[in-house]
Structure formats: structure tokens, C-alpha cells
């Protein structure tokens, strides 16, 4: 789910070294729920892989000419994954009570942050179109075809994590949201108009270590 928002709302939450990235003059904020499967370090055997729901709040930035993602928050239902992401990737992960399951042709999704139960996402979403790939220059491409993410440590140093994946197989989607307070800690109100919603059934992703950018 994506909404166009004022850059003035986002700027205070992003390190000064990063530039906001715009599409036709607009900044965007996204709330992206999904379910991770097969999560493991490359050197670990497959039987040690884990799976869990996750949801992130994100925007889009540039650093030294490179386009990437900036995460305001990430909620996950795996304590070890939360610890590792905070420790090694400097990402603002939070442990949450979460569930994600198919009900008919829709995904029923729930998330409630343990450290702040007011921070929740409750709703359902489903695809309504055929899969396809976006083209360079399109809004969908701008929002999804990002091959690195940026983070910052407590000293303000910028880190980069590179990711590899095939182009997103996107479908138009519908979402019915009962509660979405994920931006509450940021004091960023989401626009009243419906978001732009896309769905992808599956995407395999490989990420690198966190690199000093």
C-alpha cells in the first residue's frame, strides 16, 4: 500500500545525508505486509530456515546517486530475526504478535507491536488483476524495483544492504483495512484517500551483509 505524502512530514525522520526520492514531484510512504519463508544465512543448512510474518513502513531515498529504500520501522514475529537485523543491519525492527493466512482468495493479516500495542495493522488484501512487470519510468517501477536499502547506526553513519531479485511480478490488489496505526509513532498521518495497492504472490530475494556506505 502506497500513498503520496508531503516531503515535510518525512524529512525529520531521515538522516540528513540521504535525499528523498520523488516521483513526478511527490514523495511516497508505503506500508508493506508480507510473509517471509526460507529465511537463513547463506552458510546455514536449509532445515534451519525460518518463516514469519513481517510488515514495514518505508519511503524512497537516494544516497550518492544510488536509489534505495529507507525503513521507518519493521515489525516481525521472530525474536531472533529482530535481534539480528538490529545488531548486524542497523534496522529499526520490533517484535510483534502477528498472523498471516489465506482465507479464500484473500490474505487475513494482523500485527500488534509488543512494546507498543497501539501500533497495529489489521485487515485483509487480495489480488484482482493478472501478474505483470512494470517498466522503467512507471510509478510501480519507482516503488518496487529497488536493489538496496539504507540504514544508520547510533552515530549517524550510513550503511547499505544490497539485494538481488527478479523483477516484481505485480498484480493490482484491493485492501480492506480495519486498523493501521503503524505510522502513529512517527506522527505521520496517512492521507484519507485510498492507497495504491499491489500484490505479489512470491519473490525470492538474496541480501548482502551490511556495508559502510
State residue 51's pLDDT score: 85
| Number of domains making up the chain | 1
State residue 146's pLDDT score: 95
pTM: 0.92
State residue 190's pLDDT score: 95
* DSSP single-letter state for residue 169: -
Q: What residues make up the domain containing 157?
A: 2-212
C-alpha cell at 95: 517484535
Q: Give the separation between CA 57 and CA 161, rounded to whole angstroms.
A: 17
**CATH code: domain of residue 36:** 2.40.400.10
Q: Give the separation between CA 147 and CA 36, rounded to whole angstroms.
A: 18
Burial of 140 (0-12, 13-18, 19+ CB in 10 A): middle
Q: Give the separation between CA 190 and CA 92, rounded to whole angstroms.
A: 20
User: Taking CA 134 as the corner, what is the angle to CA 130 and CA 137, rounded to the nearest 5 degrees?
Assistant: 150
Residue stretches of the chain with pLDDT short of 50: 43, 47-49
State residue 41's pLDDT score: 58
Write the pLDDT tens digit of every residue in 2-60.
999 999 999 999 999 999 999 999 999 999 999 988 665 554 555 444 689 999 999 99
Amino acid at each position: 500500500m502506497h500513498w503520496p505524502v508531503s516531503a515535510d512530514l518525512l524529512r525529520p525522520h531521515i538522516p540528513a545525508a540521504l535525499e528523498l526520492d520523488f516521483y513526478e514531484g511527490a514523495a511516497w510512504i508505503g506500508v508493506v505486509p508480507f510473509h517471509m519463508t526460507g529465511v537463513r544465512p547463506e552458510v546455514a543448512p536449509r532445515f534451519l530456515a525460518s518463516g514469519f510474518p513481517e510488515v514495514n513502513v518505508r519511503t524512497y531515498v537516494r544516497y550518492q546517486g544510488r536509489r534505495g529504500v529507507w525503513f521507518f520501522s519493521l515489525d516481525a514475529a521472530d525474536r531472533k530475526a529482530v535481534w539480528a537485523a538490529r545488531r548486524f543491519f542497523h534496522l529499526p525492527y520490533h517484535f510483534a504478535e502477528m498472523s498471516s493466512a489465506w482465507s479464500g482468495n484473500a490474505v487475513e493479516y494482523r500485527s500488534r507491536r509488543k512494546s507498543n500495542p497501539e501500533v497495529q495493522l489489521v485487515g485483509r488484501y487480495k489480488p484482482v488483476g493478472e501478474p505483470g512487470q512494470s517498466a522503467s519510468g512507471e510509478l510501480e517501477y519507482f516503488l518496487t524495483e529497488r536493489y538496496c536499502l539504507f540504514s544508520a547506526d547510533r552515530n549517524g553513519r550510513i550503511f547499505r544492504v544490497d539485494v538481488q531479485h527478479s523483477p516484481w511480478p505485480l498484480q493490482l490488489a484491493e485492501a480492506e483495512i480495519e486498523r493501521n496505526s503503524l505510522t502513529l509513532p512517527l506522527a505521520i498521518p496517512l492521507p484519507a484517500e485510498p492507497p495504491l495497492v499491489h500484490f505479489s504472490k512470491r519473490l525470492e530475494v538474496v541480501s548482502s551483509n551490511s556495508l559502510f556506505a
